Structure 1
Amino acid sequence: MSSPEKNLAYWQAHAQALQIESRAFIDGHYAPAQTEETFECRSPIDGELLCEVAQCGQADVDLAVAAGRRSFEAGVWAGLHPRQRKKVLRKFAELIRLHNDELALLESLDMGKPINDATRGDVPGAAQCIEWYAEAIDKWPGEVAPCDHNILGLITREPVGVVACVVPWNFPILMASWKIAPALATGNSVILKPSEKSPLTAIRLAGLARDAGIPAGVFNVLTGDGRVGEALALHGDVDCIAFTGSTAVGKRIMQCAGQSNLKRVWLELGGKSANIVLADCPDLDRAAQAAAGAICYNMGEMCTAGSRLLVQRAIKDQFVERVRAEMATWQPAHPLDPATGMGAIVDDIQLKRVLGYIEAGKQEGATLVLGGQQTRADTGGYYVEPTIFQVSDPNIRIAREEIFGPVLSIIEFDTLDEAIAIANRSDYGLGAAIWTADLVTAHTAARRLRAGTVWVNCYEEGSDMNFPFGGYKQSGNGRDKSLHAMEKYTELKSTVVKLG
């Protein structure tokens, strides 16, 4: 019998039948918080209560860290042959693929992501990430140092120990995989702390990790608000903390690390990425489509969102019209409808933040070109129209601060030097793009743009795991993805052997 069409009715029916796990996962099993405290998990689709999730506290943090330390010292994971860890992580990736629809549905219900994005992008991407690092485990050798003939110098990497991974609400399962995969691959014990705004896929991942054969204590999940993340950052027996989220919270995590045991801190923080379109752009229609997607995909809730669109004066009017027409097609709709391109803002707090920035743009003199309103309020959910402002002063708030919503600032410029100066005049340096038909201009601009990733004649292309991801300045330090990420979760050791 053929499978039913996966339409809105299909996903709604499966949502009704979904059994949601809402407890923390510590030392190989699910458990409520020690205090039995919980918090509400409501869907941004319609404001309906999904479940009550465990609000962990200091006692739960201590239990998870102790389980991580015990499993690490016992060598039940770190001490395995690399091929054995590889086999288990490949099984973990396989189980994620087998549960693709369940995980995608949890993601969509929990944070408002369009179901097609979750089923085709986020969940398969998480599986690919874990599989990629599994394959890298036995292909990452040490070094032999050149030294005197009677000295053997070995340079090796060892797991750092207990790693806390604190991940954001906008790409819950994908961002989790970017951190837990290299941390586990290199032999560490891991504590995953998802955002309280979208904890459900992280909780489910723990069960799949157990089913794959990851030993008890090696992979733990603590749910709850920022107090849990701060407790992990302050804990003296956590060796490393990797965080993706806001710059303000990242700074606090660094302070906590300094106050405690000077644990390794790796941060992937905010962005205000500049998308520069020169008059010689080889394809204005494609550039307009990319510009719209760069701010509307995932409801604009992306640290790499192309929220500043810099357009050369000679083509500004015609290009703005192209972008306006493209963004008008990104109207919010029901996230469980496979035809939906833009879903719901994650919660009421974020909705008010986005609407507040839109109001600030109007007050600061920016010209509203498109959108600017809340929509679908009758559903009980949180939706915002795709919004465009033309901005004459690149220093106003909407053109300078990270909004995390579908709000685009269009800024006019005359010369490439001016565009690069505007692009670099930011606290952030995560992403940037340049559109030009001139190869020399493309290379020159890419070198001058102070960003961790620069796209040429595209935006958000290159999701391949080989590309390091991270930023300059207050966009953070270290890199996710690629072999470079494995460096974050290891200690470098020199061993010097006197020969005779």
Structure 2
Amino acid sequence: MTITTIPPRPTLLDRPEQDMLIGGQRVPALSGKRFETRNPATGELLALVAQGGAEDVDRAVRAARAALCGPWGRMKGAERQRIMLRLADLVEAHYEELAMLDTLDLGAPYSRTILGKARAGSLLRYYAGQATLIAGETLDNSAPGDVLSHTIKEPVGVVAAINPWNGPIGMSVWKAGPVLASGCTLVMKPAEQTPLSALRFGELCLEAGVPEGVINILTGMGDAGAALSSHPGVDKIAFTGSTGVGEKILHAAAASMKRVTVELGGKSPNIVFADADLDKAVPAAAMAVFANAGQICSAGTRLFVQSPIRAEFMERLAAFTKTIRVGDPLNPETQIGPVVSALQMDRILGFMDSAVAEGASTLAGGTRLSGAGYDDGYFLAPTIFDNVTDDMTIAREEIFGPVLSAFSFDTIEEVLERANATPFGLGSGVWTRDLATAHRMARGIRAGSVWVNCYQMLDPGVPFGGYGMSGFGRESGPQHIEDYLETKAVWIKLD
């Protein structure tokens, strides 16, 4: 998609104070507290957002429970489907506004955020289709006498969604879709760094006909997420974010045995064989990690290049990386914007320093960008480190920034062992023209997604999730909605 014009500033920002959405109403935090959300490209204050606490969590959960027990809980799948299809139309109609909110809040180029339009509509329509496909089974049994047994699928109940900051509106849609399709209700906590598009999405849900209290948007800091995770009125948690926070959520959920699905961090390998099409593999390897300023959980941050082509590949990769346009997210030609915050920038710079200290060489980048257009934001140059060894900090830790570590390898057996030598298992890439190699790698890599001669492809009908410390549960695909349903067994003795 070629972007030639940038839409106007969203009218949502005409309100300098942004309240939560609970029970169908925009309401301030009971404490009266607010926090700032700022544009990471310019430092501009965008809004003062209601800072929800434990008492706000409680009223949001009670609103969701009341909606579950109301007309929504008795609504047929076909009616939920009609509402979701209206919501899909509204989200698409307002997507320029939603994308602009994410550009201002996150710093991602508008040329990138607008690309989510087709996916958002497709996701909602896919889940709308699932709403009428929920069905139990009639099961044979070995009980004596004439006994009928069957199952009923029912919504799990009140769902808490705790979202990351790296893809705000896309994550809101992804979390709300299975909730609406299954007949559950939702308390969604967007990341404190990027709360604005979630609030607007909640308004669009009401406009589409989603009953009040079915979708609640709770803004706040980490303590609000912690209170939501441990609240006894929550039946399921859907979390996307860091592995460390995911571990805390699992502990919090254990006391009341909540159902939990988590999509966590990654340290994904991207593997280029000597027979790969380099014209395709070089730019794809760069953007597999540099897209969204590296702030993607499944980014291909560990690049393995087979020895015979290593020198040529790395030379071409460094040259391509130096052409990537970093700058103003509102410039249609910008490819990469700033990272989300000063805290994130300093964390990434710390990893860069450790790489140099441990002996890695810098092929490109390695610095904060400065000068006109950069000084007020958190801009980092896309960075390639070469001569990286498997035990270096940058080879093991998730950086979540525009930093690529490059390695060489000789054989399939070697690269499989090294690619899998990580506790993570979210994404992976393989570049080869050999069908046997592609199949061997796809079977051998321990990751939830293996992209062959492509990277970061997603579709509503294809499941996405991780192995190991990258989490459990799947989003998208027919498996996703099952995590939002209970299975009840019914026995009827007929004699």
User: What residue is the counterpart of 2:488 in the other structure?
Assistant: 493
User: What residue is the counterpart of 1:31 in the other structure?
Assistant: 27
Matched, 1:195 2:191: yes
Cα separation, 1, equivalents of 2:473 and 2:184:
18
Cα separation, 1, equivalents of 2:445 and 2:248:
28
Cα separation, 1, equivalents of 2:160 and 2:489:
26
User: Does the CA contact (< 8 Å) of 1:146 and 1:153 recur in 2?
Assistant: yes
1:15 and 1:201, CA in 2 relative to 1: closer, same or farther beyond 3 A? closer
Cα separation, 2, equivalents of 1:245 and 1:327:
27
User: What residue is the counterpart of 1:217 in the other structure?
Assistant: 213
User: What residue is the counterpart of 1:262 in the other structure?
Assistant: 257
Cα separation, 2, equivalents of 1:257 and 1:141:
28
| TM alignment of 1:306-321, pairs within 5 A | 306-321=300-315
Cα separation, 1, equivalents of 2:200 and 2:164:
16
Cα separation, 1, equivalents of 2:488 and 2:200:
36
Equivalent position amino acid for 1:138 in 2: T
Partner secondary structure for residue 155 of structure 1: strand
Structure 1 position 17, deviation (Å): 8.9
User: What residue is the counterpart of 1:289 in the other structure?
Assistant: 283
User: What residue is the counterpart of 2:78 in the other structure?
Assistant: 83
Partner secondary structure for residue 217 of structure 1: coil
- Give per-residue Cα distances to partners, 1:187-208, cap 9 Å, x unaligned: 0010010000100000111111
Partner secondary structure for residue 309 of structure 1: strand
Range that drifts further, 447-456 or 13-22 = 13-22
Question: Which ranges in structure 1 are unaligned for 5 or more consecutive residues?
Answer: none
1:329 and 1:153, CA in 2 relative to 1: closer, same or farther beyond 3 A? farther
- Give per-residue Cα distances to partners, 1:460-484, cap 9 Å, x unaligned: 12x2111101000000000111121
Structure 1 position 338, deviation (Å): 1.4
Structure 1 position 152, deviation (Å): 2.2
Residue among 311, 322, 326 paired with 1:332: 326
Matched, 1:347 2:347: no
User: Does the CA contact (< 8 Å) of 1:392 and 1:412 recur in 2?
Assistant: no
- Give per-residue Cα distances to partners, 1:268-324, cap 9 Å, x unaligned: 00000000111122x111011110110111111000100000011111000111211
Matched, 1:415 2:411: yes
Cα separation, 1, equivalents of 2:217 and 2:86:
19
User: What residue is the counterpart of 1:357 in the other structure?
Assistant: 351
User: Does the CA contact (< 8 Å) of 1:376 and 1:382 recur in 2?
Assistant: no
User: What residue is the counterpart of 2:228 in the other structure?
Assistant: 232
Question: Which ranges in structure 2 are unaligned for 5 or more consecutive residues?
Answer: none
Structure 1 position 18, deviation (Å): 4.4
Partner secondary structure for residue 78 of structure 1: helix
TM-score of the superposition, structure 1-length normalised?
Answer: 0.95
Partner secondary structure for residue 83 of structure 2: helix
Structure 1 position 253, deviation (Å): 0.2
Residue among 2, 8, 14 paired with 2:9: 14
Matched, 1:465 2:432: no
User: Does the CA contact (< 8 Å) of 1:430 and 1:451 recur in 2?
Assistant: yes
User: What residue is the counterpart of 2:163 in the other structure?
Assistant: 167
Cα separation, 2, equivalents of 1:153 and 1:331:
62
Residue among 426, 429, 441 paired with 2:425: 429
Q: What count of residue pairs does the alignment treat as equivalent?
A: 488
Cα separation, 2, equivalents of 1:19 and 1:472:
43
User: What residue is the counterpart of 1:130 in the other structure?
Assistant: 124
User: What residue is the counterpart of 1:271 in the other structure?
Assistant: 266
Matched, 1:181 2:177: yes
Partner secondary structure for residue 132 of structure 2: helix
Cα separation, 2, equivalents of 1:16 and 1:491:
41
Structure 1 stretches of at least 4 aligned residues deviating more than 3 Å after TM superposition: 15-18, 376-379
- Give per-residue Cα distances to partners, 1:2-31, cap 9 Å, x unaligned: xxx953xx54x5369943562100001101
Equivalent position amino acid for 1:361 in 2: A
RMSD: 1.5
User: Does the CA contact (< 8 Å) of 1:296 and 1:330 recur in 2?
Assistant: no
Structure 1 position 78, deviation (Å): 2.4
Structure 1 position 395, deviation (Å): 1.5
Range that drifts further, 19-28 or 233-242 = 19-28
Equivalent position amino acid for 1:97 in 2: E
Equivalent position amino acid for 1:355 in 2: L
Cα separation, 2, equivalents of 1:155 and 1:390:
56
TM-score of the superposition, structure 2-length normalised?
Answer: 0.96
Structure 1 position 151, deviation (Å): 2.8
User: What residue is the counterpart of 1:484 in the other structure?
Assistant: 479
